Amino acid sequence: MNSDKLTTGIILNPRAGNNNGTRVWNVIEQNFIEANIDFKFAESNFKNHSESISRDFVNSGIKRIIIIGGDGTLNEVVNGIFSCPLSAREDVSIGMIPVGTGNDWCRSLDIPEDPSQAANLLINGKTILHDVGTITSITDSEKKHRYFINVAGIGFDANVAHGVNVDKDNDKHGRILYMKNLLGSLLKSKACKYRIIVDDKIYNKNIFSMCVGIGKYNGGGMMQLPEAIVDDGLFDITMIENISKFSIILNIKNLFDGSFVNHHKVSSSKGKKILIETEAPVLSETDGESCGQSPFEFNILPRALNVIVPDNFKTYQNDEHS
């Protein structure tokens, strides 16, 4: 990346990663100063603050936004960017220094966890065009529209995310939260009848949990969408049918290496548009943030956002498919 005088906006979530954000910024600030990056710094102090900060950055002409935080901060920034007119956001790029509990999006992009390495990547890496998804769901009896860049979870997956978010709101942190809430949600979650339309394919299934994604990982490192590619213009979909809770416990290890999708109760699909109706209301989450309830509509926005990645990151558009 050319470290010219183009103004960069930096958004810090000081509470991310067990209140680790400020410490990380103190370590890496010098990286940007030494690279002669002209940056504007802002701190996110409350829920959805990053969304309004990123919106203000874009509308003021800033074309590069760096996020120091976790997947929730990332989700807010993406929604802030896409709330701006196309003319203002079409050349905007984002990069991330992962400081959160899960850091799932960064896993798919091979972004290093070490803050200094991640900062140097943002200064010297390349930019690719990344797909973005939209979800329409029901919140307070109204249809709500939300953007996401990694994974949306439905059913059990969303119940786990809800529990994690409640713990975070109560100032509890750490990766153990995912495992705690995964096991705890097993006691409450039940399968439900779903009607799922993926482009022209129709599925009628008794679903326990479902993921719709652009990236491979969610839930603090679970590889529930192992074939996902961030710029192929398609959602990857994993549907877990009415599986026994004992079987889930036995297969927890396989959730983290992607082999869980080979279970006979798990099926996969790909598509650009997804409609989901459920017999009873079920919850959703996007990029780890609690969202609305069913029914749902998903649409893909192919190659809609510039994203900074390592130089050796392989993309769909640059391999034999291009």
Q: What is the pLDDT of residue 247?
A: 84
For 196-243, write each residue's pLDDT tens digit. Answer: 999 999 999 999 999 999 999 998 888 999 999 999 999 999 999 988
Give the predicted TM-score (pTM) of the model. Answer: 0.90
Q: Is 241 helix (H, G, I), strand (E, B) or coil?
A: strand
- Domain 8-124: which CATH class? alpha beta
CB atoms < 10 A from the CB of 23, how many? Answer: 13
Q: Report the CATH number of the 133-303 domain.
A: 2.60.200.40
For 289-314, write each residue's pLDDT tens digit. Answer: 889 999 999 999 999 999 999 998 98
For 43-102, write each residue's pLDDT tens digit. Answer: 999 989 999 999 999 999 999 999 999 999 999 999 999 999 999 999 999 999 999 878
Contact 218, 104 (CB under 8 A): yes
Please report how the helices 21-34 and 115-124 are oriented relative to each other, as an axis angle in degrees rounded to 10: 40
Determine the Cα–Cα distance for residues 153 and 161; give it in Å rounded to an integer.
8
Domain boundaries, the chain: 8-124, 133-303
